[in-house]
């Protein structure tokens, strides 16, 4: 009973955070990410951090990956989520892409990418726990600059998460956005799953 109450309170806090954030700037209304957007131009000078262990980070001198290396000349499906180890992200969002990876490959997709406002070391441990690293490429957006540049940042302080991102997905071809979906609230999982984006490719 106590655990059920705790889960209910956590879910309520997450939804409260989403609702309170809507009172401010609506990410859908102000998002720079839309069909036809060049994602690398929309986030100039921004790079992401490939998921890795701390030792791998040290050996790579904490290198980052420019967006051009991720998107240019490639067909990419990318999805963003509020955070590693959180409920919907772990139980529904990542598994939906992991379970459909063969369908993406059949459609000629070069890479399926998950990005979150986390450091690359935390997201690496999470990806390993989910058993998804062989199917999905995971990247951290440790300072949130990528999501801020695209107008997809979200304050989830009410859920003790601080500055995070919307829950979203996009199909990007040679850097150009061909389709994009953003949930009404980050606790929702209605339009950003693998099945939806597969139908848009």
Q: What are the pLDDT digits (tens) for 37-96?
A: 899 988 989 999 999 999 998 998 998 999 999 999 999 999 999 888 988 898 889 999
Nearest C-alpha neighbor of 118 from the set 194, 65, 48: 48
Q: Report pLDDT for 155.
A: 75
- Of 65, 72, 85, 87, which Cα lies nearest the Cα of 15? 87
Greatest mean pLDDT range, 4-18, 86-100, 111-125, 177-191: 111-125
Q: With a cut of 90, say whether residue 2 has pLDDT above it.
A: no
Q: Please give the pLDDT value at position 158.
A: 74
Residue 116 has pLDDT above 60, yes or no: yes
pLDDT of residue 8: 40
Phi-psi region of 131 (alpha: psi -120 to 50; beta: other; left: phi over 0): left
Q: What is the pLDDT of residue 31?
A: 61
- State residue 9's pLDDT score: 42
Backbone angles phi, psi at 19, to 5 degrees: -65, -40
**What integer is the mean pLDDT of 155-161?**
74
Contact (CB, 8 A) for 117 and 147? yes
pTM above 0.85, yes or no: no
Whether residue 25 has pLDDT greater than 80: no
For the chain, the average pLDDT equals 84
Distance of CA 177 to the CA centre of its chain: 15
Q: Is the pLDDT of residue 1 over 50?
A: no
Question: How many angstroms separate the CA atoms of 121 and 19, rounded?
Answer: 30
Q: Find the mean pLDDT for residues 143-165.
A: 83
Name the H helices within 132-172.
145-149
Q: Which element (helix H / strand E) includes 181?
A: strand 176-182
Rg (CA), the chain: 16
pLDDT score at 154: 84
Is the pLDDT at 197 greater than 80, yes or no? yes
pLDDT in the model for residue 162 = 63
Task: Evaluate whether 197 touches 181 at the Cβ level (below 8 Å).
Answer: yes
In this structure, of 14-28, 139-153, 175-189, the range with the lowest mean pLDDT score is 14-28
Catalytic residues: 89
């Amino acid at each position: 009973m106590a655990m059920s109450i705790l889960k209910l309170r956590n879910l309520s806090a997450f939804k409260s955070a989403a609702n309170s954030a809507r009172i401010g700037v609506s990410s859908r209304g102000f998002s720079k990410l839309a069909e036809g957007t060049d994602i690398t131009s929309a986030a100039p000078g921004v790079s992401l951090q490939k998921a890795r262990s701390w030792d791998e980070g040290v050996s790579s001198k904490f290198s980052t990956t420019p967006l051009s290396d991720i998107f240019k000349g490639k067909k990419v499906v990318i999805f963003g989520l509020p955070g590693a180890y959180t409920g919907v992200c772990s139980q529904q969002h990542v598994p939906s892409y992991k379970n459909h990876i063969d369908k993406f490959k059949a459609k000629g997709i070069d890479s399926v990418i998950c990005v979150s406002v986390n450091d690359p070391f935390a997201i690496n441990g999470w990806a390993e726990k989910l058993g998804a690293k062989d199917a999905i490429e995971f990247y951290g957006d440790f300072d949130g600059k990528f999501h801020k540049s695209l107008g997809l940042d979200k304050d989830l302080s009410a859920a003790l998460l601080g500055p995070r991102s919307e829950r979203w997905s996009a199909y990007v071809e040679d850097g150009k956005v061909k389709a994009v979906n953003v949930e009404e609230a980050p606790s929702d999982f209605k339009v950003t799953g693998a099945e939806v984006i597969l139908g848009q490719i």
